[in-house]
Amino acid sequence: MKARLIKRFEDEIAVLDRELTHDLPKEIQRARELGDLRENAEYAAAKERQRLVESRISMLRTRVSQLQLMNLDKIPTDKAGFGSKLTVIENGKQLQFELCMPEDADPDKGLISVASPIGRAFVGKEEGDDVLVVTPAGKRAFELVRLITVHDEA
């Protein structure tokens, strides 16, 4: 899990780095050739994209460093935590969740951030536990029927 995340982040860094060092300088040069930079929308857009790419690369590098330092041994083997896959029942309907980092969250795909209200409510829970979550949309009640931890997948 950790290695997979690191690889994904490093792949994204490589793509963004190419854009930053190869593609964006060409766009900026092309925009400069159009004349007055104060009223040049192409130049402003390219410079803004450059700032965004630099910021994203910085955030990803920080995240890779944090992940490399993460000690998976501190994640419980029998309770929900980062990387756990959960099968839950809500109102008679079975749902699948995976607890992930905030930047990987995609609720539509069942990827729930450990920092979200639902993610925080499940951290530390075991199979068979009932979990009540207060969300901005109201209260939600779940039953945790199956738990696969990051250790089970290793």
Indicate the pTM of the whole model: 0.60
Same domain, 130 and 98: yes
How do residues 74-121 score in pLDDT, each as one tens digit? 666 789 988 899 999 999 999 999 998 887 889 999 999 999 999 999
Which domain, by its residues, includes 24? 2-70
Helix (H) or strand (E) holding 14: helix 2-18
Please check whether residues 143 and 80 belong to one and the same domain.
Answer: yes
CATH number for position 115: 3.10.50.30
Q: Are the C-beta atoms of residues 118 and 102 closer than 8 Å to each other? A: no
pLDDT one-digit tens code per residue, 67-84:
777 766 666 678 998 889
More confident position, 116 or 153: 116
Residue 2 is predicted with a pLDDT of 65
Listed residue (52, 122, 51) closest to 83, CA to CA: 122
Does 83 lie in the same domain as 63?
A: no
Query: What are 7's two structure tokens?
Result: 């690889």
